[in-house]
Amino acid sequence: MTPDAAPPAPVLSDGIVSLRPLGEHDVPDITLTAQDPLVARWTTIPTPYAQADAEAFVAERGGGAGPLPTWAITVLPDHRYGGTVDLRPDGSGGAEIGYMLAPWARGAGHAARALRLACAWGFSALRLEVVTWLAYAGNDASLKAARRAGFQVPEHIFRGYAVQRGERRDCWVGTMTPDDLMAAARQTEGRREFLGPDLTRRELDVLRQLARGASNRAIATELGISENTVKNHVRGILEKLQASSRSQAVVSALRLGLVSLPT
């Protein structure tokens, strides 16, 4: 898929963090975020940054269309703009990911959730084979978020790998494949630090059965519970994944790396 053939970036959510297209109403918050010293230090964002820069950014990237899928990161309870994440496809099955969180959205692991949502969408909708990540060496918060999301990042420092405002910077470089994302999702699930919609353990069991195409009766037999209980779990799953059918729930769950298709 070539970059200019990218489908519109849709709304994505894991129940805690949501990604939605940027809009003009985000301009004041984007401006505040881009003026934050940490953002200036660790990204290529222009400095000084004025409201006109945010307006130009939204004009170019807003609305979810365009070759570089770009989202506002929003967080419960008020869905206020809390950051930006984007994918920059290379047209050959790869894309680089970029992100920043607003100061008011930091410190709760939201970056890792946003990275997973964007990568999962890239793997399914853009058929990406790999997403690459880079940060200037020393950006520990970003490294932690990336590794938590599933990026494989070796300790190696790549000398002068990237340019920031005309100056070469040492970098950490990592990659994520669909398998890495699945493995990370499974690992956090195992640690009961599940990074996804707030599904119960039982709902996850039922969701896995749904991915296998099992009927309510078959699920009830497999899990040793009544068909009525299965129905209740399916209702809960649909609600939490904001899905209107079982198959839509399975598609969402696949995107989020919650389940895999039987081989």
Ligand X SMILES: CC(C)(COP(=O)(O)OP(=O)(O)OC[C@H]1O[C@@H](n2cnc3c(N)ncnc32)[C@H](O)[C@@H]1OP(=O)(O)O)[C@@H](O)C(=O)NCCC(=O)NCCS
Reduced to 3 states (helix: H, G, I; strand: E, B; else coil), residue 112 is helix
Residue 129 CB coordination number (10 Å): 14
Q: Does 135 participate in binding ligand X (rule CB under 6 A)?
A: yes
What is the smallest separation between the CB atom of 12 and ligand X, expressed in angstroms?
17
Q: How far apart are CA 82 and CA 89, in angstroms?
A: 23
Minimum CB distance to ligand X smaller for 61 or for 233: 61
Stretch that binds ligand X, among 19-27, 35-43, 198-206, 246-254 (CB under 6 A): 35-43
- Report, in Å, the least distance between residue 92 CB and ligand X: 22
Measured from the Cβ of residue 164, the count of other Cβ atoms closer than 10 Å reads 15
**Contacting residue, 1, 16, 32, 38, with ligand X by CB under 6 A:** 38
**Rounded to an integer, what is the distance from CA 37 to the centroid of its chain?**
24
Closer residue to ligand X (CB): 101 or 234:
101
Interface residue with ligand X among 13, 35, 43, 252 (CB under 6 A) is 43
Q: Report the amino acid identity of residue 206.
A: V
Min CB(34)–ligand X separation in Å: 10
Distance of CA 196 to the CA centre of its chain: 10
Hunting for tokens 């959730």 — which residue is that? 113
CA distance 227 to 233: 10
DSSP helix/strand/coil, 130 = strand
CB nearer to ligand X: give 99 or 121. 99
Question: Which residue in 107, 154, 160, 213 binds ligand X (CB under 6 A)?
Answer: 107
| Binding-site string for ligand X from residue 65 to residue 104, where x marks contact by CB under 6 A and - marks none | ----------------------------------xxx---
Nearest CA-CA partner of 207 in 145, 260, 140, 157: 260
Residues forming the site for ligand X (CB under 6 A): 38-39, 42-43, 99-101, 106-111, 135, 139-142, 144-145
